[in-house]
Amino acid sequence: DTGVSQNPRHKITKRGQNVTFRCDPISEHNRLYWYRQTLGQGPEFLTYFQNEAQLEKSRLLSDRFSAERPKGSFSTLEIQRTEQGDSAMYLCASNHRGGTDTQYFGPGTRLTVL
Amino acid sequence: KQEVTQIPAALSVPEGENLVLNCSFTDSAIYNLQWFRQDPGKGLTSLLLIQSSQREQTSGRLNASLDKSSGRSTLYIAASQPGDSATYLCAVGGTYKYIFGTGTRLKVLA
């Protein structure tokens, strides 16, 4: 078990392009979370999954954003028609319901939209 | 709506000093509170988790306290070292998501 992993670590794209990020949680964890962090701010909650079910989505998650966790293991976060305001660090975390509730964070994907 | 505030926003201290970072929150109906460390451009590393029924947690040179009634938590760092330089984030937990403060940027000078 090597912890939560995220790919890619960095993504530079032009405005209007679509991007997709991947998160692989710790293997036995059934909860997975996405957060977004802009410079100088704390992370903000975007959405979370319990197994394959997406149980809550923040109002920050506009209709250009979609997240999936098809088999209850890894998750993807897609942003369509990227805007400069989407530039941020996208963080993934996982934990196990009924465990210590500590959320274990991945290294993040830094998105830059030109 | 839960709001989390961290004071100070930045702190610079000489090596060896003991220091206190503060976190306040507006809604005392919390599930837990967690302190994280974040190095520049990196993800978050969990430092201490305090459940709502607990008053404090300790790990090495770190001690975190929680006073739900006053909506406050403190992170105490003893004998600070240059390697402690990072941003420290406080996160208040509900049943699943965390609400984060904006962090305290700590620099420990050698």
pLDDT computed for residue A112 by the predictor: 97
Q: Helix, strand or coil for residue B29?
A: coil
- Distance from C-alpha of A23 to C-alpha of A75, rounded to nearest angstrom: 5
pLDDT computed for residue A72 by the predictor: 84
**Mean pLDDT of the region B81-101:** 92
Query: Between A4, A42, A107, which is nearest B101 by CB?
Result: A42
Most trustworthy range by pLDDT among A104-108, B81-85, B93-97: B81-85
Q: How crowded is residue A22: how many other Cβ atoms within 10 Å of its Cβ?
A: 14
Q: Which of B2, B32, B46, B96 best tests the A interface by mutation, with the highest count of A CBs <10 A?
A: B96
Share of chain B above pLDDT 90, in %: 85
Question: Per the CB < 8 Å rule, is B45 touching A105?
Answer: yes
pLDDT computed for residue A108 by the predictor: 95
List pLDDT tens digits, range B17-69. Answer: 999 999 999 998 888 999 999 998 888 999 999 999 999 999 999 999 999 99
pLDDT computed for residue A98 by the predictor: 63
A-side interface with B, Cβ within 8 Å?
A: 4, 6, 31, 33, 35, 40-45, 48, 55-56, 91, 93, 100-108, 110
pLDDT computed for residue A87 by the predictor: 97
- Distance from C-alpha of A6 to C-alpha of A26, rounded to nearest angstrom: 11
pLDDT computed for residue B110 by the predictor: 93
Note whether B35 contacts A: Cβ–Cβ < 8 A: no
Q: How far is CA B72 from CA A2, A79, B52, B55, B66, in A?
A: 34, 37, 12, 11, 6
Residue type, A14: K
Confidence of residue A99 (pLDDT cuts 50, 70, 90): low
Q: Which value, in Å, is the radius of gyration of the alpha carbons in chain B?
A: 13
Mean pLDDT of chain B: 94
Note whether B31 contacts A: Cβ–Cβ < 8 A: yes
Q: How far is CA A81 from CA A1, A17, A113, in A?
A: 35, 5, 10
As given in the structure block, the two tokens for residue A56 are 């809550």
Confidence of residue A96 (pLDDT cuts 50, 70, 90): confident
**DSSP character at residue B84:** G
Q: Helix, strand or coil for residue A65?
A: strand
**Residue B30 backbone phi and psi in degrees, to 5:** -110, 160
Mean pLDDT of chain A: 92
**DSSP character at residue A97:** T
pLDDT computed for residue A61 by the predictor: 86
**Mean pLDDT of the region A77-85:** 97
**Partner residues linked to B100 by β-bridges:** B91
List pLDDT tens digits, range A1-56. Answer: 579 999 999 999 999 999 999 999 999 899 999 999 999 899 999 999 999 999 98
The residue length of chain B stands at 110
Query: Between B43, B45, B103, which is nearest A42 by CB?
Result: B103
Q: For A107, name the nearest residue in chain B, comparing CA atoms only.
A: B43
pLDDT computed for residue B90 by the predictor: 97
Cβ contacts of A33 on chain B, cutoff 8 Å: 96-97
